[in-house]
Chains A and B, each alone.
Chain A
Amino acid sequence: MSEPALQVKDIEVAYGGVVAARGVSLEVGEGEIIGLIGPNGAGKSTTLHAIMGLVPLRAGDVLLEGRSIRGRSPETIARAGLSLVPEGRRLFGELTVEENLRLGLAARRRGTAGGGGFADVYELFPILEEFRGRSAGALSGGQQQQLAIARALVAKPTVLLLDEPSLGLAPTVVDIVFSTLLAIRGRGIAILLVEQRAQRTVALADRTHVLANGELRLLLTPDDAADTDRMIAAYLA
Chain B
Amino acid sequence: MSVFVTSGLTDFLRDAVDLQVQVDAIGLGAIFALMAVGIGLVFGVLRLVNFAYGQLIMAGGFALAFASERGWSVAVGIALCFAVVIGLSLAMERAVFRPLRTQSPAVMLIATFAVAFLLQSIALLWFGPLGKTAASLAQLNRPVSIGDVDIRKISIVAIVTAAVCLTLLLVLLNRTSIGLHMRAAAMDFQTARLLGVRANLVSAVAVLISGLLAAVVAVMLTVQFPTVTPGFALRETIVVLAGVIVGGMTRLGSATLGGFAIGYASGVLGGALPTAQSQYLPSLVFGVVILVLLVRPGGLFTRGRPAVERV
Question: Which residues of A come within 8 Å of B, CB atoms?
Answer: 52, 54, 73-75, 78-79, 84, 86, 90, 92, 94-95, 99, 102-108, 151, 155
User: Once the chains are docked, how many angstroms separate the CA of A84 from the CA of B190?
Assistant: 12
Residues of A within 8 A of B177 (CB): 102, 105-106
User: Once the chains are docked, how many angstroms separate the CA of A155 from the CA of B198?
Assistant: 14
Residues of B within 8 A of A107 (CB): 195-196
The verdict on B184 contacting chain A, using a C-beta distance below 8 Å, is yes
Chain B residues touching A, majority SS: helix
Contact check, B196 vs A106: say whether CB atoms are below 8 A apart: yes
In the complex formed, the residue of A with least CB distance to B192 is A103
CB distance from A151 to the nearest CB of B (A): 7
Contact check, A75 vs B184: say whether CB atoms are below 8 A apart: no
User: Once the chains are docked, how many angstroms separate the CA of A79 from the CA of B181?
Assistant: 14
Residues of B within 8 A of A106 (CB): 177, 181, 192, 195-198
Contact check, A75 vs B183: say whether CB atoms are below 8 A apart: no
User: Once the chains are docked, how many angstroms separate the CA of A106 from the CA of B185?
Assistant: 12
| Chain B 166-203 interface 0/1 with A at a Cβ cutoff of 8 Å (1 = within) | 00000000000100110110011011111111110000
CB distance from B94 to the nearest CB of A (A): 16
User: Once the chains are docked, how many angstroms separate the CA of A103 from the CA of B179?
Assistant: 11
Contact check, B193 vs A75: say whether CB atoms are below 8 A apart: yes
Q: Which of B190, B195, B199 contacts A103 (CB 8 A)?
A: B195
CB distance from A16 to the nearest CB of B (A): 16
Contact check, B194 vs A92: say whether CB atoms are below 8 A apart: no
Residues of B within 8 A of A92 (CB): 183-184, 187-188, 191
Contact check, A78 vs B188: say whether CB atoms are below 8 A apart: no
User: Once the chains are docked, how many angstroms separate the CA of A79 from the CA of B198?
Assistant: 10
User: Once the chains are docked, how many angstroms separate the CA of A105 from the CA of B183?
Assistant: 15
User: Once the chains are docked, how many angstroms separate the CA of A95 from the CA of B188?
Assistant: 12
CB distance from A110 to the nearest CB of B (A): 12
Residues of B within 8 A of A84 (CB): 194
CB distance from B191 to the nearest CB of A (A): 4
Residues of B within 8 A of A104 (CB): 195-196
CB distance from B32 to the nearest CB of A (A): 26
User: Once the chains are docked, how many angstroms separate the CA of A84 from the CA of B181?
Assistant: 17
CB distance from B101 to the nearest CB of A (A): 12
